[in-house]
Structure 1
Amino acid sequence: MRKHFHHVRRALNDLLHPPPAPQPSHTSSLATLLPLLDRAVFLQPQAEQVIQECAAPGKPAEDLAQRGNAVVVGYWKLRRDLLPIEVSVVDRPVKERIRSLLLYHEWSVHEAVDCACSPQQTGKMRIARAQMRGLGAPGTRLRELRQDLSAEYAALTGPGSDQEENGGPAACRPSQAP
């Protein structure tokens, strides 16, 4: 009876406390993050256009709120997609920076649309609209981060690297005879 209890307890412990999953490599983290960054940068012109239209004096276009909300949802979905991505310990600060930049983009467009499409335009709202300047420095930082990580990934996976795309690490592949 005791022996059986020990096996049951061990099985339950294994179910409740599985061994930690292996950490992804830096290269695989970059490979996972880059497509998400591509999508974020792709949305930027739409975000800039919406913010520019929100900043314009007068009544906003009838479809501005709808177009702006589509951009907001786009950045929200990117943040949602980023959340479950497992990255190497080295890349955790990068993932957090991406999350913060996506949140800023989402918030900027949301606030611009909210201000421009409010049914009651106060003096403060008109001043805020006139001061809108787009995504600004955080937009540039997102593009630079994407460019830097892309260059780093290319260096890690390019010809002569330890992580060439076809076949994994160079040390694991058979050498080719001349």
Structure 2
Amino acid sequence: MIWDTPGKLSVSAWERVRLVPYWTGRAGRQIGSLAGEAEVASYAYERPDGSGYYRETKAGGIPIEGRILAAATALASLCVQRPWRDAFADDAAESLLMAEAAAGRYDVDVARALLNKSRSIKTKLPPAPLASLLTERERDVLRWISHGASNKVAAQKLSISPSTVRTHIESVFRKLECSTRAAATLKATQLGLL
């Protein structure tokens, strides 16, 4: 709900946002095999200049994995539409990320490496015939659920019923030979379907 709030967040909503990495780390540590990954995930919104959250850690206290995740999270966020703004085009998102890095909010070397890797991946996308693996509507549904939308939210955004969304998700799982939303998103991304 908070991510879909247009305009400025209330103080209580902002505090809930600031606690996302804390709860991510805490929940992940409950599953022993995810403890290391959960620790890295808890740094997703930390910034080298200390302006991040929840720890407000500065550069020396953020592991390299955390700096990579923070820059990647920022770039991904810039490329997604929000209720208060449109998605940025690739060039604009890259420029904004580099400007933020130059201002000390992201590691400059990490941002450069991320953008170079992102460009090389875009040039190595699979050939077009794979696009026919999923229908256009299945790709639309997968795109929404890959951003974390529930069936209900995806249905509202696409002007279809939640049961139709569920049917499309089942079809996507079958075609991609996956059983979870995360696995389907990862496989579709690797195949160039998203």
Scaled by the length of structure 2, the TM-score of the pair is: 0.23
Bigger Cα Rg: 1
**Bigger helix fraction:** 1
Structure number with higher relative contact order (C-alpha < 8 Å, ≥ 6 residues apart): 1
